[in-house]
């Protein structure tokens, strides 16, 4: 779930837990509907998504490493046909904010935060 919370923060998907977007199928969690993802950070969407990200304080080490190594300018180039310049800027800001959060967790609990 921590990877999903991170993903939702990055794409600013603020309606994951609004109902009907999580299910169990054959004993596995299923996460549906990223339709609220991206868009502008109006009405405190980013703060709300960060609150949800903070529900988790443990993250997969490989996922964290991929976030730390992510080439943001290359990602922005790939997404340019889909997102506005403002959305691309806000995505880069969220990536950096998520990196800071995971680094802070790692500094506070080096053996427990990135697994």
Q: What is the pLDDT of residue 93?
A: 95
Q: Is 66 left (phi over 0), alpha (psi -120 to 50) or beta?
A: alpha
* Cα–Cα distance measured from residue 88 to residue 40, given in angstroms and rounded to the nearest whole number: 10
Contact 58, 112 (CB under 8 A): yes
Give this prediction's pTM.
Answer: 0.85
Name the pLDDT band for 89 (thresholds 50, 70, 90): very high
Q: What average pLDDT does this structure show over 41-57?
A: 87
Containing 23, the helix (H) or strand (E) segment is strand 22-25
Query: 28 — phi, psi (to 5°)?
Result: -115, 145
In the chain, % of residues over pLDDT 70 = 89
Q: What is the pLDDT of residue 83?
A: 93
């Amino acid at each position: 779930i921590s990877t999903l919370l991170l993903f939702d923060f990055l794409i600013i998907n603020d309606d994951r837990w609004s109902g009907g977007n999580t299910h169990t199928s054959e004993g596995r969690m299923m996460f549906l509907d990223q339709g609220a993802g991206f868009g502008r950070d109006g009405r405190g969407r980013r703060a709300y998504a960060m609150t949800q990200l903070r529900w988790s304080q443990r993250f997969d080490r490989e996922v964290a490493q991929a976030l730390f190594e992510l080439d943001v300018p290359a990602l922005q180039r790939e997404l340019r046909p889909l997102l506005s310049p403002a959305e691309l800027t806000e995505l880069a800001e969220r990536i950096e904010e998520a990196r800071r959060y995971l680094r802070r967790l790692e500094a506070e609990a080096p053996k427990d935060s990135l697994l």
